[in-house]
Each structure stands twice: as C-alpha cells, then as structure tokens.
A and B are shown apart, each in its own frame.
Chain A
C-alpha cells in the first residue's frame, strides 16, 4: 500500500457568484515535493491556495490532509496542523513589531511557548534576513520587506506544508537567487512546498513538479521542463508561438 499523499484535493470547485474560479480540481502532493504553480492571471491559483489554507471554503469537493478529510476545518485548525500560508498581498499585523508578528505564528500555529516560541521567531528572522527589522513596527516596512515578513511568519509557524503566493515578484536579480536558496533550504528540511510564481526561472530552480492552471483547470502538469515545453503552456501562458521549438536550455533564461 502506498503512503497517503500529504495533501489531496478531490474534484474541488469554487465559485464566486456565477464565476467558477476552480472546477473539478484534483491534486495530490506527496510529502517532500516542491510543487510550482504557474498560469495566467485569474487562473484560480490564489483561490486554490486560499482553499487549501482554509481562508475560503470550497463550493464542491473534498480536501484531505494525510488522507483525512479536512474540508470543513477552519484556517486556525489547519495552521495548527502544519499548513502555513504566505499571502500574495502581504497581510502583516501592522501595529505589531516584526518579531511580534512571528511570535504569533510560533505561538499559535506551532504551539510553542515562552523561549521556544521566541527562538523559533528569531530563527525565522535570521533565515529571511529580517533580523535588523526585528523591533520595527510592521507598518514601517516597505512592500518587499513586508513580503519577506509574510514568508518569515509562515516559516515561524513550523509548517509541514508551506503555501507561497508570488513571493519573488519585484525582487532584484541578486535577491531572487537568495529567495530560491531559502525555499530550497526549507524544502531540504522536510517541508512540502506549493509555490505560485510568475518569475518562472525562480520556480524551475527548485520545483520538483510544475503545474499550469488556466481558467480553474489543469493545463499541463509534470516535470518542469516538459511542462514549459508543452504547446498549450507556451501558447496560453508564455505567449509564445507553439510552432517554434523551445530552446535547449528551457525558457528560464
């Protein structure tokens, strides 16, 4: 018998009014995977993460964590059971310091107390290079640092499944490899990652599997290079002419 996937969705759908953002979505993510998700704007990527994290309940379908149905479990329950979310539009606790932001996650999601929670928060500060901002109010951070804080807070919750939503956008060419290295080290420590990103070369550097979403459906899925080379992905997402063969190095240049 094969072990249960860490997280699984069975024909998950989500509609907003008459707009069907996700429909009949099936996904299995094994522990230790780094699943990259690409797709045009409005493809349902962020909705998928919100449904997995519990912020938005699905209209149809089932979500399983370790093979157990968690569809009706609220966000805080999922956070306490190892699902951490880093939102696309950062949602820091603005009136709290950066350190306190991380302490919330370390205390309530990871369930640590006192010095252990503080150590987890400080560790997460260091991994994301935010230590110098530790005592600054989150409201004083610039957008990019708020994005870092978003990732740091997710890490401080000691996740088993890390949901990242467009964390590389806006970073400089020097910063992207640092971020890739961070995700790689997180994955190496045994955390499963689902990462939505438009900066495709960042994604292909760490993703073990790539999935392209379009209009709430899976357009292509599999080995990253193969997905990027597939005609549908090239036409719909990358906006390239599918008749022209992909360059040997892949489109991550």
Chain B
C-alpha cells in the first residue's frame, strides 16, 4: 500500500527544492543589509566607518578559515602567511608596478592562491596537529623571506602611497566601500561554493572523509581546492588591511594573532556552517570595540570565552540556535517535498 503511494508520487517531477522559509528570509535580509551598509558612510561618523572596515576584514578571515577548518578539516594556524602575502602583493602591484589599486586587490588574491599551490604540497604531507604547527612554520618562513626584501622595506615595513590621491575623508569612505565589495564577494562566494556541487562534496568531507571517498568524492583534490580558496580569501583580507592602515609591517601582517582571532571567531560562532563565522566575527568585533581599553586583560577574557565554548557549546552560537534541527539562512540545502505535505497545501 505505502509502496503504491510512493511509486505514484515518484512520477511527479520537480520534487526537490533548495529554498526553505528560513533561507528565503535570511537571504532577503542579507540583501537589504548590504544596501544599508553601502549607504552607511553618508550616515555615521568616520571613526565608526574605519572600525567597520576592521569588521569586514574579520568577516572575510572567519568565513574563509571556516571553509578550511570547518569543511576541509584542516586546522591551519598559518593563514597569516596569505594575509601578509596579500598585503605585500598589493603594495608591490600598486606602488612599485603602478597597477590600479582596486585592480590590485583581485590580482593579489590570485597571487595568494597561486603561491598556495606549491605550499599545499608541502603542508598536506602533515595531518592534524602536525599540519597546524607546519602551517605556522610556513607562515614564519614567509615573514622571514619578506624581511630580506629591501624593495618592500625589509623588517621596518612600507607605507602605501597608492591611496594618497584621495582626501582623508573620501579615502576612508572609499576604503570602506572597497572592503564592503570584498566582503560581499568573499562571503557570497562561500555561500555559492557550499550551495554548488562542490559544496556537496565539501559538506560530505566535513562529516566523514572516508564515507565521502567511498561515495565518489575526491577528498585530496577537494581539500587542495579549499586550501587555495581560503588562501585567496586571506590574501583579500591582507589587501584591505594594507589599504585601510596605509602601512604594511611584517610583524603586523604575519602575526600569528590573526590565526588566534580566526579560530576564536569560528569556534564561538559555529564551526562548519556558513552562518557561524559571520556571527562569530560580529561578536568578536563588538567585544574588541567594547573591551579594547582593557589591554591584555581583554585577550585573557577572549581566551576564557573560547575555552567555555569549546567545553560547553562545541557547535558554537549557531549550533545553539539550530539545535532543534538545521536552520539555513542561505539556500544551500536540498529538501524533498513529501507527498503528504503537498496535499496539505492544496
């Protein structure tokens, strides 16, 4: 009897949908938010605008580190290698080679991804904790190599003159819009990536690499591609840091503290989801704004918070939100319209 019913329903086409009510609301809200953010420089003071660029950098870092660690299972402590590479690529392209500074951003992202190819063959020889330490060492090598290059200021760093054509207020506003475009492109790409065919492989890989392989997913190739994509993302973050601070120093851009921030944001937000890193970045940014005056005590506070989340809320804030069942703010899933549900609607 049940067999007969299910056979009949099978003949109806188009039974799988990608959208859910929550993802329709979430994606529309996201679109409205982007428009509102674009208008922001006309509405609020420049100091806040400046702080917003910092938020966008954090959003990019959290989202791309999450792709790497949350989906790819590769806990890297060395993504600052690509933050630095992105920042220095921008300086080189814009100031030394005279490339348009806005065009230099995507080129710097591509440079980061290209450099990540040979690095991946080195780093992927290690797994788990060894991979983490190995990536940190690689980032240190990047820093040490940069110090040896006098054309970009060696250990002292270099100032950027490509943005000096703008008056100060406009420069900050332009920096803001550029950062907004970058964050929309990077986070949007993460959403499209997870929604795509490759995202299906990536999500399977996140949950069980062995079963993913026996289901036909090329695990190694998928991991490598994720590594390249997140290197490009970190490179974009580096270019934004360079454009907004107007100065690039090896000790700043190659600081392992970036990795600590990325881990913190993704862990408290919710690892392995698209929504988690966004929430984590916003929370981290708010804490940074509110507690910055307490100096190192604020870092201790962040550390304690991170430990509490790891112990008691391993799936982060987004995990608490969706603990009664998966909630997607982006249309990345697949849902089957069951026969009884369709009937109820008619």
Contacts and interface: CB of A to CB of B under 8 A. Distances in A.
A79 B214 contact: yes
B197 A113 contact: yes
B214 A84 contact: yes
Interface stretch (A15-23, A128-136, A230-238): A128-136
Given A97-B326, A104-B201, A104-B204, A110 B334 contact: no
Nearest to B208: A91
A123 B10 contact: yes
Interface residues of B, number: 34
B125 interface: no
B165 interface: no
A46 interface: no
Contact of A107 (B10, B15, B197, B214): B197
Contacts of B210: 55, 75, 91
Contacts of A103: 200, 334
Contacts of A96: 203-204, 207
B325 interface: yes
Interface string A60-104: 000000000000001110111000110100011111110111011
Interface in B1-47: 2, 6-7, 10, 13-16
A42 to B, nearest CB: 21
Nearest to B207: A93
A4 interface: no
A89 to B, nearest CB: 11
A51 to B, nearest CB: 13
Interface in B239-258: none
B217 A118 contact: no
Q: Name, among A80, A92, A104, the residue most crowded by chain B CB atoms within 10 Å (CB to CB).
A: A104
A95 B10 contact: no
B215 A157 contact: yes
A53 interface: yes
A131 B215 contact: no
Given A97-B326, A100-B333, A118-B334, A108 B217 contact: yes
B216 interface: yes
Nearest to A129: B2
A55 B214 contact: yes
B49 to A, nearest CB: 37
A46 to B, nearest CB: 13
B214 A135 contact: no
B216 to A, nearest CB: 3
B16 A122 contact: yes
A137 interface: yes
B214 A53 contact: yes
B216 A93 contact: no
Contacts of A84: 214
B336 A93 contact: no
B330 to A, nearest CB: 15
Given A54-B214, A76-B217, A93-B212, 5 more contacts: A78-B214, A93-B207, A97-B333, A100-B333, A107-B216
Interface of B: 2, 6-7, 10, 13-16, 197, 200-201, 203-204, 206-208, 210-219, 272, 325-326, 333-336, 338
Ranked nearest first, the 5 interchain pairs of A and B with the lowest CB-CB distance are: A109-B216, A108-B216, A93-B207, A75-B213, A134-B336
6 contacts: A84-B214, A87-B214, A101-B204, A108-B201, A115-B16, A137-B325
